[in-house]
Structure 1
């Protein structure tokens, strides 16, 4: 299943990279989002690969929604993580594919085609980047910590975002807003980032990244400090999480203002 997920991500990623330098024409431009035909084509290629190999599996993908079949196996697909980045020519985007089996996340693949980065992980088997095992860093100094903020596109106002992020901006070295959530979690997994803070965002956006970060040794909790435990996927369910290298977890969580 891992190899098929990687195949699907690579196929879609190669297509997206071919189109990346073109002048893209959106289907729609919204206040917080943009709809691109490339999103749909990437999705079509991923679903074709998954259903060719696993015709009885259910798939949830961002554009087509739920393609319901056998409920035990659910593929959670974001065919273009970072659509807005892709649209404006910013090379920070990925394809994200996760597998939920009996309501548990067991596999994640995140592929950044521009950088040639293929992240993957299976439950209990570690996390990898292009075949090399990866892990979170051991930084303890908050003043050198770099993190990223992920927010729900339709659940957080700009005023709320400004108020919430101020402590992280002031107390740590840098807070990024990369707008490609799955890839953010992979940067944490490889020790490039020290923390991720997520505010009322869909698990669909980060399911694969969560598997990869968890297998790389990240500490993942809700805002109250309760260890993250995946629930049966529901698209309407939003999550507020904090993930760190473990060394900085209590410090970072202490900056959260609910």
Structure 2
């Protein structure tokens, strides 16, 4: 797959003084993800191959996960050879003197991909000195694409996103997800059972990056989930944050494995406090 000419940038080597431009990083991310998404879509059309399990018998990885990740890493290394890359399937590729680290989920929602459900995404974020500054999430089936740069706003198909204006938690439609470990799922279900009387309803899409983007555009009012890795929320979290949502953990913590909470300011505190009360960040 040929990379568009406007994405043919070269990473600055050791000793470079100018900070990377988030807009240029986003341009490269978008071009790379569009081609990667087409690769994922075409491989799905040909049939899912080489399905294996990872952490548990329900945590699957396919040949397409690996193929998409190899493609994205190769494109990034060709155009910005000094940058680091971390991917869900292959781990970390070390950089050399560059402050940029790319964070990749080649197929977020692999179970949906396996079953032919049209809710999965290629997610790619660029981090500079430990801060995510650009991100893109693309659904290969629908072509829906969400982008953001830090300080530059969040967009879907050219439309700026501002999240939900909701102020009553009781009217909030929430997105969430569940881990693969049985004990963790049991704890998450207990939290959900306690929480659901206090909200409008719950949706479980099966792809955290898409959940965060849906919250950014107000299709969901808020999202919470325990157990997310950095590749699950780096790009989608920036989209949500730039749409005006508070993207946090619980009890003063930042977003991370214990909890990612993305909610507009009108309900963030109320939802946060319920999740703390119900020990949503606890358990296995």
TM-score by length of 1: 0.90
Q: Specify the alignment match of 2:115 in structure 1.
A: 88
Q: Specify the alignment match of 1:38 in structure 2.
A: 64
Q: Which aligned segments of 4 or more residues in structure 1 are displaced greater than 4 angstroms?
A: none
Segment drifting more, 127-136 vs 248-257: 248-257
2:178 & 2:228 partners in 1: Cα distance?
Answer: 5
Q: Specify the alignment match of 1:144 in structure 2.
A: 171
Matched ranges for 1:35-184 at <5 A: 35-70=61-96, 72-154=99-181, 157-184=184-211
Q: Specify the alignment match of 2:44 in structure 1.
A: 20
1:137 & 1:37 partners in 2: Cα distance?
Answer: 37
Task: Judge conservation of contact 1:127–1:216 (CA < 8 Å) in 2.
Answer: yes
Segment drifting more, 172-181 vs 89-98: 172-181
RMSD over aligned CA atoms reads: 1.8
1:38 & 1:47 partners in 2: Cα distance?
Answer: 14
Tell me how far 1:144 sits from its aligned partner.
2.7
Segment drifting more, 186-195 vs 40-49: 40-49
Task: Judge conservation of contact 2:103–2:230 (CA < 8 Å) in 1.
Answer: no
The Cα offsets for residues 188-224 of structure 1, whole Å up to 9 and x where unpaired, read as 1111111111213212211111111100000122222
Segment drifting more, 13-22 vs 172-181: 13-22
Q: Give structure 2 stretches of 5+ with no counterpart.
A: 1-24, 280-284
The Cα offsets for residues 84-109 of structure 1, whole Å up to 9 and x where unpaired, read as 11000110000010111111111111
Task: Judge conservation of contact 1:189–1:212 (CA < 8 Å) in 2.
Answer: yes
Structure with greater strand share of residues:
1
Instruction: Please give the secondary structure, in 1, of the residue aligned with 2:106.
Output: strand
The Cα offsets for residues 123-182 of structure 1, whole Å up to 9 and x where unpaired, read as 100001112211101012333311111344349522212111113322212212222111
- Is 1:241–2:265 an aligned residue pair? no
Count residues with an aligned counterpart.
250
Q: Give structure 1 stretches of 5+ with no counterpart.
A: 231-236
1:19 & 1:200 partners in 2: Cα distance?
Answer: 28
Segment drifting more, 71-80 vs 26-35: 26-35
Task: Judge conservation of contact 2:178–2:185 (CA < 8 Å) in 1.
Answer: no
